[in-house]
Amino acid sequence: MTLTGRDLRLAEFLRPGDHRTLIVEMDRGLMLGPVQGLVRLGEALERVKGADAVVLTLGQVKRVYGKLKGRTVPAPIIRADWTNMLRGEGHALPALDVKHVMVAEAEDIALSGAAAGAAFFLVGYDRDRDEAKNMEEVARLARGCARLSIPLLVQAIPFGPRITRDNLFDCISMAARMALEAGADLVAAPYPGSPQLLRELVESVRAPFLLWDRGYEAEKLEALCREAVDAGAAGMMVGEGLFTSPDWPERLRILEGLIHK
């Protein structure tokens, strides 16, 4: 099984110079509905120059691929799954019971010309059966991606009432490790609570590690970014919250500057 395609595709967004990357999630429409700043996806894509990669759903890729052409635009990463986990209190219909399903396969990612696939591995499910299902789905996707030499990014995210401030680090660490063992090529996870813990987390994850944040608080985002870089992470993965501030392209540029100085 050759890894060369995988490496080449990774290098589309993990810059060969500093091995760092800034990824932006623009796929939230699937999970949340229209998000402010992302409603006109095409226009948003034209302005998202500072990012190395953008996460998009298959459905959107078929519509906005025109903005993904050439070698100066961010690399597309395909969102391969769906969850209602992100629909919290503020949402019109908050999730009663967190679910996770697959919406794309490795073949689809290959077909689309994307640089990688992205999927969630959530921990904190009430029923262990759900966690097992999530793992099975991630593992199957990882195998499929490996067969087609496509890198897989797994977002290891603890959620729900079973996660406390005390066990946060351990849960993230466990989920990240499992994602890696299942075959992830990059792992993204939320802030574990302190710079020290972040450093430990980065060290324990052997693959490139990205700090993930939903991006709703601008100053927090920049601070996190700095910490991520200091801790030796490979960059950041920013969620849909970024787009809710009107000057998000500027914010993005700042993040880019912090990561790729």
- Note the residues at the interface with another protein (CB under 8 A): 2, 4-12, 15-17, 58, 61-63, 65-66, 68-72, 75-76, 108, 110-114, 148-149
Whether the CA torsion 86, 224, 208, 158 is positive or negative: it is negative
> CB-wise, 20 or 214, nearer to another protein?
20
Q: How far is the CB of 10 from another protein (least distance, A)?
A: 8
Q: Which is nearer to another protein, 147 or 162 (CB)?
A: 147
Q: What is the nearest approach in angstroms of another protein to the Cβ of residue 111?
A: 4
Q: How far apart are CA 208 and CA 36, in angstroms?
A: 30
Q: Give whichever of 106 and 258 is closer to another protein, judged by the CB atom.
A: 106
Q: Which is nearer to another protein, 73 or 95 (CB)?
A: 73
Contact 159, 124 (CB under 8 A): yes
Residue 148 CB, shortest distance to another protein, in Å, is: 6
CA nearest to 181, candidates 202, 152, 203: 152
Cβ at position 240, least distance to another protein in Å: 23
Residues comprising the chain, all counted: 261
Q: How far is CA 222 from CA 18, 217, 227, 228, 258, in A?
A: 19, 9, 9, 10, 8
Q: Which residues contact 30 (CB under 8 A, 6 or more apart)?
A: 57, 59, 79, 82, 103
Beta carbon nearer to another protein, 67 or 100 = 67
* Smallest distance from another protein to CB 155, Å: 23
